[in-house]
Amino acid sequence: MLKQLEGSQGVAQAVALCRPEVVCAYPISPQTHIVEALGALCRKGTLQDCEYINVESEFAAMSVAIGASVAGARAYTATASQGLLFMVEAVYNASGLGLPIVMTVANRAIGAPINIWNDHSDSMSQRDCGWIQLFAETNQEAVDLHIQAFRIAEEMSLPVMVCMDGFVLTHAFERMDIPSQEDVDAFLPPYSPRQVLDPKNPYSIGAMVGPEAFTEVRWLAHRRMMDAVPVIEKTARDFEEKFGRQSGGLLTSYCMEDADVCVFAMGSILGTIKDTVDELRESGVKIGVVGLKCYRPFPTEEVKVALGHVKTTVVLERMISAGSGGALYLDVLKALRKTDVELRSVIAGLGGRAVTKQSLRAVFEKAVEGTLPDETVFLDLDQELVDRQLAREAKEHHIGPVAEALNKDVNVRKILRGEEV
């Protein structure tokens, strides 16, 4: 059924259609509307046979989800930013124990400094934690990915993060097709966990493992993640067959048939990138887009096939690994290591900074011309602010907090320009 909904409301309805038996709720912007909506669905009786648990922290949310999952319940939670970091110990436990928990991450920047706006630094900080990570481009895809996530998680006995851009998607109202309960029931089998605590057949879950077997445990975990690649693909194909639309999978291509230059990215920024590519195409530029839907496990071979024929690939991502560069760039670099593709790295949209078509066009035109620098490029970097801070640091030892100094510079500049502070 077509509905005009806020993204968070659409996700909550999709999760409810998957019949979770335990929802672990703790608020943090920008995911709060999701668990609030699920609470309302439980209270109204729309979501039945579900224990809605208000916990005292994000760590508790994941811990309760782990307990529910090992007890044999279909478990769900949601978080963002610092909340994800607070539950990290339990996040690793969930994957290490092979528990099919589904969690929404409403992507938001990590502090310090405090920032509530969108980038991908939170979920990408957990790229090594053993969770499958799926990224939504639109709210419709976020709805669809949650339905697919429960099926993937339970088939592989692995936890799944569904990542959607905070505020950009979670708080945006769009028209979404919310499936019927009957269709979801036909697509998602009844929950049948691979492991469950049973007094009639007692065993330990989470026992200590010494050096004699720890490497093998990790090898099997890696193997299971890579085995998920074809399952994720097949689940997307089955979803399309059942619901009549493409969502999820590993990669999507746009205008790539004759492209010499490709832009590689994930999340909602793909929409702006496609609009920019359309304009460049009208000018005769052979440029295309490949969108990554599944970040972990990283589909190395599929990326190589998708990008291996172009001259240049621009990897555009919304996070920075300080002291290294773009994490997504490094994954693509590995995939293309035996090709002649020139690779460029662009960091954009950190902390919610707007990514405009004008700025993207300037970068893409440089990539086409072959003049985009080989080092990491920060889109729309305010060089004046950076230079002022570097000058202070060169002159003084006691410089004070960097973030506050930059905020002051921004406000002084606004006052001098007659702008509102």
For the stretch 112-138, pLDDT in tens is 999 999 999 999 999 999 999 999 999
Kindly state the tokens that stand for 348.
């954009």
Confidence of residue 335 (pLDDT cuts 50, 70, 90): very high
Kindly state the tokens that stand for 11.
């996700």
Mean of the per-residue pLDDT values of the chain: 97
* Strands 160-165 and 2-6, bridge-based pairing: unpaired
Give the integer Cα–Cα distance in Å for 126 and 88. Answer: 8
Other Cβ atoms less than 10 A from the Cβ of 55: the count is 16
Residue 48 phi/psi, 5-degree rounding, is: -105, 165
Is the pLDDT score of 290 beyond 90? yes
Q: What is the pLDDT of residue 60?
A: 98
Q: In what order do the strands lie in the sheet with 132-135?
A: 51-54, 22-25, 75-79, 102-107, 160-165, 132-135, 294-296
Within 13 A of 172's CA, how many CA atoms are on the CB side?
Answer: 16
Give the integer Cα–Cα distance in Å for 295 and 107. Answer: 14
Give the integer Cα–Cα distance in Å for 7 and 279. Answer: 28
**Which one-letter amino acid corresponds to residue 238?**
D
DSSP 29-56: TTTHHHHHHHHHHHHHTSS-S-EEEE-S
- The β-bridge partners of 333 are none
Q: What is the pLDDT of residue 282?
A: 97
For the stretch 92-118, pLDDT in tens is 999 999 999 999 999 999 999 999 999
Confidence of residue 185 (pLDDT cuts 50, 70, 90): very high
Confidence of residue 207 (pLDDT cuts 50, 70, 90): confident
Interval 384-405 mean pLDDT: 94
Kindly state the tokens that stand for 155.
């088939």
Q: What is the pLDDT of residue 203?
A: 87
Is the pLDDT score of 206 beyond 90? no
252-266, 300-314, 388-402: least confident range: 388-402
Q: What is the pLDDT of residue 22?
A: 98
Q: What is the pLDDT of residue 55?
A: 98
DSSP code at position 338: T
For the stretch 8-33, pLDDT in tens is 999 999 999 999 999 999 999 999 99
Q: What is the pLDDT of residue 48?
A: 96
CA 17 to chain centre: 22
Q: What is the pLDDT of residue 204?
A: 86
Give the integer Cα–Cα distance in Å for 111 and 133. Answer: 22
Give the integer Cα–Cα distance in Å for 91 and 75. Answer: 13
Is the bond leading into 189 cis (omega within 30 degrees of zero)? no
Interval 42-64 mean pLDDT: 97
Interval 349-361 mean pLDDT: 98
Give the integer Cα–Cα distance in Å for 34 and 236. Answer: 24
Is the pLDDT score of 205 beyond 90? no
CATH topology for the 251-378 domain? Rossmann fold (3.40.50)
Sign of the alpha-carbon torsion through 217, 222, 225, 229: negative
Interval 312-338 mean pLDDT: 97
CATH topology for the 2-243 domain? Rossmann fold (3.40.50)
Kindly state the tokens that stand for 40.
């309302």
**Which one-letter amino acid corresponds to residue 390?**
L
DSSP 219-266: HHHHHHHHHHHHHHHHHHHHHHHHHSS---SSEEEES-TT-SEEEEE-
Is the pLDDT score of 72 beyond 90? yes
Q: What is the pTM of this model?
A: 0.97
Q: Percent of the chain having pLDDT more than 90?
A: 95
Other Cβ atoms less than 10 A from the Cβ of 64: the count is 21
Confidence of residue 399 (pLDDT cuts 50, 70, 90): confident
Interval 389-405 mean pLDDT: 93
Give the integer Cα–Cα distance in Å for 111 and 134. Answer: 23
- The β-bridge partners of 75 are 22
